[in-house]
């Protein structure tokens, strides 16, 4: 059963440290999305890629966040420097890019910044 | 105006009850529609797609009303295991997915 794989599952770090989250989309999917979810907010879109090209990263704080797809099997989301307000669950999702196809989510990375 | 709006609930219903959720969307160019289920501290998982003619999957029925721009989810004979947050999702052109904030359901024994 194909699935989106995210690592790490949990990350606890101190304020100011760099955090890197990784995502392996489902093989053959050409769209990748990064979302953030906190208790107070719904799913917040940070960035998305189509065919490895960033199409929209307007939801991402540019000064500290960056998202890349070095190849078709890996997407990364980096936070540098991290702040306590970045504590959240970060989800990666991938899709086939067809308008009638749903997104498939990874298990998420639960980030705590102290 | 938000792209997708849902009543956050919570909905607390007894086992065996029928419960319905509605969701409205603002963009008439929206092309496809989905309901996702999210359990506490887990990722959203696809529950079902929503087709123009309406569709059913066991106890779950989804309907789309393009004229009024809303979609609905009906759950019959609620089970304890149906307790979760239900997210309405609208898609434009395969790239733009808009998620509602979710409706919380608790099924009570």
Q: What is the pLDDT of residue A2?
A: 82
pLDDT exceeds cutoff 80 at A40: no
Best CA proximity match to A45, nearest among A96, A81, A92, A100: A92
Q: What is the pLDDT of residue B30?
A: 83
Q: What is the pLDDT of residue B31?
A: 84
Strand partners, A22: A7, A76
By C-alpha distance, the chain A residue nearest B8 is A42
Strand partners, A111: A11, A88
Cβ burial of B23 (10 Å; 0-12, 13-18, 19+) is: buried
By C-alpha distance, the chain B residue nearest A92 is B43
Q: In chain A, helix, strand, coil percent, each to 5?
A: 5, 55, 45
Which residues in A lie closer than 8 A to residue B46 (C-beta atoms)? 102-104
Q: By the 8 A CB rule, do B7 and B104 touch?
A: no
Asked if B95 lies within 8 A of A101 by C-beta distance, the reply is no
Best CA proximity match to B47, nearest among B106, B102, B108: B102
Under DSSP, the state recorded for B81 is G
Q: How confident is the model at residue B16 (pLDDT cuts 50, 70, 90)?
A: very high
Q: Percent of chain B scored above 70 by pLDDT? A: 99
How far is residue A73's CA from residue A56's CA, in Å, rounded to a whole number? 19
Using one digit for the tens of pLDDT, what is the confidence trace for B66-75?
Answer: 999 999 999 9
Using one digit for the tens of pLDDT, what is the confidence trace for B31-45?
Answer: 899 999 999 989 999
Rounded to 5°, the CA angle A104-A107-A113 comes to 130
Strand partners, B70: B24, B65
Mean pLDDT across A37-54: 90
Q: Which two tokens stand for residue B62?
A: 């989804």
Asked if A104 lies within 8 A of B46 by C-beta distance, the reply is yes
Q: What is the pLDDT of residue A109?
A: 98
How far is residue A110's CA from residue A9's CA, in Å, rounded to a whole number? 6
Mean pLDDT across B79-104: 91
Asked if B95 lies within 8 A of A106 by C-beta distance, the reply is no
Q: What is the pLDDT of residue B93?
A: 73
Query: Which residue out of B23, B43, B51, B103 would a mutagenesis test of the A interface target, given it has the greatest number of A Cβ atoms within 10 Å?
Result: B43
Closest Cα of chain A to B81: distance in Å?
20
Asked if A100 lies within 8 A of B100 by C-beta distance, the reply is no
Asked if B102 lies within 8 A of A99 by C-beta distance, the reply is no
Which among A96, A102, A105 has CB closest to B34? Answer: A102
* Choice between A98 and A92, residue whose per-residue pLDDT is larger: A92
Residues 6 or more apart whose CB falls under 8 angstroms from that of B58 comprise none
Task: Return mean pLDDT, chain B.
Answer: 93
């Amino acid at each position: 059963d194909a699935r989106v794989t995210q690592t790490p599952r949990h990350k606890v770090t101190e304020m100011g440290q760099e955090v890197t989250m990784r995502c392996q989309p489902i093989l053959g999917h050409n769209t990748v999305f990064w979302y953030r979810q906190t208790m107070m907010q719904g799913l917040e879109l940070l960035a998305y890629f189509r065919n490895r090209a960033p199409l929209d990263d307007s939801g991402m704080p540019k000064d500290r966040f960056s998202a890349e797809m070095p190849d078709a099997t890996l997407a990364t989301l980096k936070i540098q420097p991290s702040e306590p307000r970045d504590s959240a669950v970060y989800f990666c999702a991938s899709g086939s890019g067809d308008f009638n196809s749903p997104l498939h989510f990874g298990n998420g990375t639960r980030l705590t910044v102290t | 105006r938000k792209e997708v709006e849902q009543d956050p609930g919570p909905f607390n219903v007894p086992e065996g009850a029928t419960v319905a959720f509605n969701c409205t969307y603002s963009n008439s160019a929206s092309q496809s529609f989905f309901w996702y289920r999210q359990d506490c501290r887990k990722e959203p998982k696809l529950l079902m797609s929503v087709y123009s003619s309406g569709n059913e999957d066991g106890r779950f029925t989804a309907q789309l009303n393009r004229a009024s721009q809303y979609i609905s989810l009906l759950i019959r004979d609620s089970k304890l295991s149906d307790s979760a947050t239900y997210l309405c999702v609208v898609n434009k052109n395969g790239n733009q997915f808009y998620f509602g904030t979710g409706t919380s359901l608790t099924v009570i024994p």
